[in-house]
Amino acid sequence: PPSSVDPRGAINKSKSTSSRRLSVKSNVQAPSRINRTKSDDENSVSTSPRTFINLLPDWSMLLAAITTIFLAAEKQWMMLDWKPKRTDMLVDPLGFGRIMPDGLVFRQNFSIRSYEIGADRTASIETLMNHLQETALNHVKTAGLMANGFGSTPEMAKRNLIWVVSKMQVLVDRYPQWGDVVQIDTWVAAAGKNGMRRDWLMHDCNTGDTLLQATSVWVMMNKETRKLSKIPDE
């Protein structure tokens, strides 16, 4: 509108903004670049001097790593439970056993393995019988009387004789469990003219309890004629 009247009667003229524009002049200027390159800017950054102290590793991290290794080794040592055990609690590494100082008793230790147990985690009667048989044969072998057969002595081999079990009685007080170490003692004695008696006694190496008692009578028989024979002199 060309004019307007205010309450006081004064006439104001409207200012035209279309014909006039307000221009803003910026006084910002770009920094001058006088013979400077990128390499100059990088070199301008201050760096600490390379000294022997700066080249050393971070000792705190190294100490933490060593401490961790020692703690892990100590934990492993405690888990293995390295306690000295009696010699009679250790399994014979060669599996042959030994003759006791009295010269009459043969002793051998066995560990009950996982494949020798049943569903109740105890050794089967078959396992116990196998250990008794193994102990008897190792007794003969350790005494130097093993020839070419199943427990046959040299003189028996010459006469074509073999051992035959005619009677055996086993009394089991308690069946050993998986991982138990058992100690078996065995010895022999004469039984009549043509026989030999062999006895066994099985103990738990950890508790000392008697697990099994067994006795048997063996006779000699000719493999060809199937007749009994007297025990030859060795």
Please state, rounded to an integer, the average pLDDT across all residues of the chain. Answer: 76
149 backbone dihedrals φ, ψ, rounded to 5°: -130, -165
User: What are the tens digits of pLDDT across the range 184-208?
Assistant: 999 999 888 778 999 999 999 999 9
User: What are the tens digits of pLDDT across the range 136-157?
Assistant: 989 988 887 776 666 778 888 8
Of the pLDDT bands very low, low, confident and very high (cuts 50, 70, 90), residue 77 is: low
The domain spans of the chain are 87-229
pLDDT at 35: 53
pLDDT exceeding 70 applies to what percent of the chain? 62
Please list, residue by residue across 178-207, b when 16 or more beta carbons sit within 10 angstroms of its beta carbon and e when fewer do: bebbbbbbbbbeebeeebbebebbbbbbee
Q: Give long-range contacts, CB 8 A cutoff, 24+ apart: 3-7.
A: none
Task: Name the residue among 216, 232, 212 with its Cα closest to residue 136.
Answer: 216
Contact call for residues 108 and 138 (beta carbons, < 8 A): yes
Strands (E), the chain: 3-5, 11-13, 98-99, 106-111, 161-172, 181-191, 195-204, 210-222, 228-229
pLDDT exceeding 90 applies to what percent of the chain? 35
Give the CA count within 13 Å in the CB-facing half-sphere of 232.
16
Domain 87-229 is of which CATH architecture?
A: Roll (3.10)
Contact call for residues 199 and 193 (beta carbons, < 8 A): no
62 backbone dihedrals φ, ψ, rounded to 5°: -65, -40
pLDDT at 152: 77
